[in-house]
Chains A and B, each alone.
Chain A
């Protein structure tokens, strides 16, 4: 376990010292602050619309940060050949992979907290109330969702080139967000072989939309039942475990020379 955290620490140190990470981070924070602080005639609907845009921005920025960060870990290690002195130490490839995942996931979690903190401060300043439970639930589920995305990007990085991996994972995640939940309806309407294939895709893909609590924050709805939160956590854990197992199997077989 110490070895996994040692690798994770190096991942975090690298992110802290990378300038492109800061650019995206600062840009998103600045836009969130700017948009959140604009007053539109004290109109409620417009204020909610602005909140929606801010949250969408946070979702897209964290998605890009997660995919680019997780997707580049193993190819960068191989390209810079830093993997060689590392694997000459008593550490397994699976531990390296898990360390990379944990490092990315923790860094993204920190980013997420900062973004939501900006957003929360702006919301409180405008609406004078803070639905804390809603916020905490939203951050938690968002983080779990990004864990699945990060694991997916790690798998992709072992099969595709870095550019192809980033593009395919981002497009895939956006596809799941937008149409994933409707695939069963589409399958029912289509029928036949195409219908079965659509059903298979519907059951195979991780349903990332279940981790999306943006509407609850925007409209100030009731928090999600804790049982449902537990089930969503379990669902995310199973997907992360499956994807990381697949990544470990691929990485173990991957020639490094």
Chain B
């Protein structure tokens, strides 16, 4: 059973350690992530939580190959994350919209389709499908710089899905969106889960995490403090996810006189 569980994991982080040079820190080194280990399994929606500076973004950066780990390992689909091929089956949505603003949504998606080596017809079909999904079909030939923030976030979601990924890495996908935008992103995540896709996402919207995720890990000071199924944690702590989060990070409410 243990072996089967291992085979099922498509994202695996083992004793990950990331250090940065930081002259202001004692020893000149800042430990962003220390001996971090967790796994994400096929078909899960996994919430990666933690306060600012907990190491979420650093971990995400390692998974995406932007930052090399000082120690330990990270694998996507059994391939070391330092290999570009490891990112063949993933889609990534950054927190903010970082796209070529001089391109149109259609051109941007075509560019990324080429990076994935998609054939012209397949790319055309996929681009049509995605622009309809994110409701940008009518403005597909307008430069991205003319889009509103919500529209840019939806372009981001479309580019993250261009290769029909098996694993989606979403970095605060609903940050800065209005309630309708949030609802749409949530619906898309749920639809992807129904299709058997795996979603790994970091968020500060704990209510949303509670609704969408099957399993969560709460990070604090570069280490996983709590990890488990959402339902199990709620039952174990007898409170909501926000309260669990505050307990884990040691938040003390101010004492009123």
Contact = CB atoms under 8 A, between A and B. Distances in A.
A85 B98 contact: yes
B246 interface: no
A247 to B, nearest CB: 18
Contacts, number: 75
A88 B87 contact: yes
A82 B99 contact: yes
B64 interface: yes
A2 B117 contact: yes
Given A3-B115, A84-B64, A257-B61, A89 B87 contact: yes
Contact of B102 (A2, A5, A14, A81): A14
Interface residues of B, number: 32
In which size bucket is the chain A interface? 20 to 34
Contact of A10 (B84, B111, B163): B111
Contacts of A2: 114, 117
A82 B115 contact: no
B100 interface: yes
Contact of A13 (B58, B107, B112): B107
Interface string A1-26: 01101100110011001100000000
Interface string B37-64: 0000000000000000000001001001
Nearest to B117: A2
A90 interface: yes
Contact of A87 (B66, B88, B111, B169): B66
A89 B61 CA distance: 13
Contacts of A91: 84, 115
Contacts of A256: 61, 66-67
Interface stretch (B89-97, B132-140, B221-229, B230-238): B89-97
B92 A85 contact: yes
Given A2-B114, A91-B115, A256-B67, A10 B87 contact: no
B65 A81 contact: no
A92 B114 CA distance: 14
B212 interface: no
B98 A80 contact: yes
Given A6-B115, A81-B98, A84-B64, 4 more contacts: A6-B114, A90-B86, A255-B67, A256-B67
Interface of B: 58, 61, 64-67, 84-88, 90, 92, 94, 96, 98-103, 107, 111-112, 114-117, 156, 159, 163, 169
